[in-house]
Chain A
Amino acid sequence: MSERESAYDPDRGRIGMWLFICTEILIFGGLFLLYSVYRYKHSADFHAAALNLSRLDGTLNTMVLITSSLTAALGVHELRSGRPGRSRLYIACTLLLACVFLVVKAFEWGAKFEHGLYPGASHLLSLPPGQILYFGLYFTMTGLHAIHVIVGMGVFGFCLRSISKGSTSASRPVLIENATLFWHLVDIIWIFLFPLFYLIS
């Protein structure tokens, strides 16, 4: 490794992350495209199907996720200000809130399964096509979102280790910056999913 290669270039990682975020938005963009076409075709069915979702759970999870974004951003701020201990504490809060989000999500999904509202269930198949599509999209989009939550938790776990080892620090903050960027992305996708599935009834 020559000196030039090993020189720390924070912009490189930042550019890479923003490009990656573009690809993530486009991945969900394909799903949002499907959603808008099917909702346009079957708007009455979509509204009827949305009545089955718990607005309380949805609102709770929205608040949990937005708060977790705040704690993640505070974690970055603390690290940049040279307080790695407090930074780790905030990241731990984010991880905890992410767990809360997943638990609420699990209860929600469980309730849908109890009511026979999952893909392939005979009850769901007896409903009009618009409702079948609504729940097909609901499980796909919230499922893919939940996978992103889990991946984000893994990345934050990695950040915690990296901060305690000192390889992520006030002078080398790109890893945690990028992790938080990713987390905001997960957050903002949810902010679109929430009204589109919970608030259209």
Chain B
Amino acid sequence: MGDTVHEASGPYFAPAGGRPGLLGWITTTNHKRIGILYLSLIGTFFTAAVVLGVLMRIQMQSPGMRLMDARTYNVMFTLHGIIQIFLVVIPGIPTIFGNFALPMLIGSNDMAFPRLNLFSWYLFLAGALLAAVAVFTNGGAPDTGWTFYVPFSLKTTVNVPLATFAVFVLGMSSILTGINIVTTVHQLRAPGMTFFRMPLSVWGLYSTAWVQILATPIIGITMLLIVVERLFGIGVFDPTKGGDPLLYQHLFWIYSHPAVYIMILPAMGIISDIFPVFSRKNIFGYKMIAFSSLAIASVGSLVWGHHMYVSGQSDTADIVFSLLTFLVAVPSAIKVFNWIATMYKGSIRLDPPFLFALTFVVLFSVGGLTGLLLGALSSDVQLHDTYFVVGHFHYIIFGGFGFGLFAALHYWFPKMTGRMYSKRAAILGWLVTFVGFNAFYFPFLIMGWEGMPRRYYAYLPKFASLQGFSSVGSYVMVAGLAVIFVNLLVSARRGEKAPANPWGGATLEWTLPSPPPLESWEKAPTVVKGPYDFSGIEEGR
């Protein structure tokens, strides 16, 4: 234990006895450092995907715009989708905060499998590099959309096999992270940390990890089959050889719909942690929120057919999937009502993390309610493959995951860096992003309703004003994102020193210094109360 005392004295990111510099980072098995490794990669990928998105919005600025031709536009939305889905949103919160925060939240010094944890980061990096190589080699970047639908993905001459193999590798990384999180939660909780004393963010990550373990293998084999089909022509998805393209869609969505819950559940968990802290009040309906996470994870695995109402599946399947889709809205609504009830008679402080959390609820509700229109059989026939779907999806994923991630970043930033950011700049960034976001995506819902198909690089003149407005909204949103990121990056170096518990949180990570040492605890803490019991904790500044 003598070494531990020595190591514990410095912050986790200082080279304490270990290898200094970059080498010390890429050989680390420490959960906090691996979390930061993921953050740096995911931040880079997010920026790249935002740039692709803005290029598409410039193309759509006016009906006659010719920034790119149709094929380039196809490549743009494919890459934007692949990067955002597989490299940012799916890994996002489980890898960054599942690593950085989760062990501290349950009073453990590390994940259950530290070396496996580093290995899954390398798999993630390898998957990203493979995807990058696929863009530039062997026929060029894929133009299939991120869904790789057959038979087009079998016929197109571009580099689909390498891109789908990259998705397979990223899937393996995701599975290993899931296994690590489930095992950690079961085996490494501190004494007294019962399941119902776990912070709700841990419940969110835990439910997500199960989905990662149980759904990801299906996309793994599906992507491998695309590779095998392209290389050897086995025929299982090729209609000219008797294969059935609809089966591909089934296999694809058996994973990719649950993947939406991989994206949103951990964000919901973190939101459930933030609401009580900034309301100074215990969460309303702890068990309901915890179980609704599990309910979303299980029912959400049985709704994939709602992506295929117009693909030719049977009417019976349509009706069953539609019913299940409506059912999954129930646990989501439970969470929303519980968050709102948590604020009732609370002592509310509108600090940046809470502003992001509140907008999460607003935007997620818009996304959820528009989702019901898509889940209903009759209205989906009109709305399928229109901008309405794109708008709905971005309200859920950007409004939900994105704002959830920003909330988490602003919440744990003092813990991660040991410094405070400028609250005024953060609020400015939040406001501009929020306004730009709605100006950007709300017109999508209207245009989709009026019949604007998704994935077209040009459009009829009647959409000119809404498309133009939406493009301007996207520029505003990017300006807001820039304010947020510049504020965080500058503050990470120059911000004022953060206290151990800047927000007055009651979960275990706030009992550690900011930034925490490499080894959080010399002796495991004993937990005697729930995660939202604020008695005896000083209110944040």
Contacts and interface: CB of A to CB of B under 8 A. Distances in A.
A23 B236 contact: no
A147 to B, nearest CB: 10
B445 interface: no
A128 B182 CA distance: 47
Contact of A2 (B217, B220, B228, B519): B519
B541 interface: no
Interface stretch (B72-80, B86-94, B238-246): B238-246
A19 B247 CA distance: 26
B182 A119 contact: no
B112 interface: yes
A133 B179 contact: no
B4 interface: yes
7 contacts: A15-B187, A26-B218, A33-B251, A129-B241, A136-B234, A139-B234, A140-B234
A27 B524 contact: no
Chain B's interface size range is 35 or more
Contacts of A4: 109, 524
B214 A16 contact: no
A127 B524 CA distance: 67
Contacts of A1: 3-4
Interface in B193-220: 213-214, 216-218, 220
B328 to A, nearest CB: 21
Nearest to B218: A30
Contacts of B222: 30
Interface of B: 1, 3-4, 109-110, 112-113, 116, 175, 178-180, 182-183, 186-187, 213-214, 216-218, 220-222, 224-225, 228, 232-236, 241-244, 247, 251, 254, 519, 521-522, 524
Given A30-B221, A30-B251, A129-B242, A119 B232 contact: yes
A34 B247 CA distance: 8
A38 B236 contact: yes
Choose among B178, B186, B235 the residue with the greatest number of A CB atoms under 10 Å from its CB.
Answer: B235
Top 4 A-B pairs, shortest CB-CB distance: A129-B242, A136-B234, A26-B217, A30-B221
Interface residues of A, number: 41
Given A23-B213, A34-B247, A37-B244, A140 B187 contact: no
Summarize B's interface: helix, strand, loop or mixed: helix
B225 A19 contact: no
A94 B217 CA distance: 28
A22 B233 CA distance: 29
A152 interface: no
B221 A27 contact: yes
Contacts of A34: 225, 236, 247, 251
A2 B522 contact: yes
Contacts of B4: 1-2
Contacts of B225: 30, 34, 140
Given A2-B1, A2-B519, A22-B213, A12 B187 contact: yes
A9 B187 CA distance: 9
A12 B232 contact: no
Contacts of A114: none
Given A27-B220, A28-B221, 13 more contacts: A2-B1, A12-B113, A12-B183, A12-B187, A15-B182, A16-B116, A19-B213, A37-B244, A38-B242, A119-B233, A130-B242, A139-B234, A140-B234
A61 B110 CA distance: 44
B523 to A, nearest CB: 8
B233 A133 contact: no
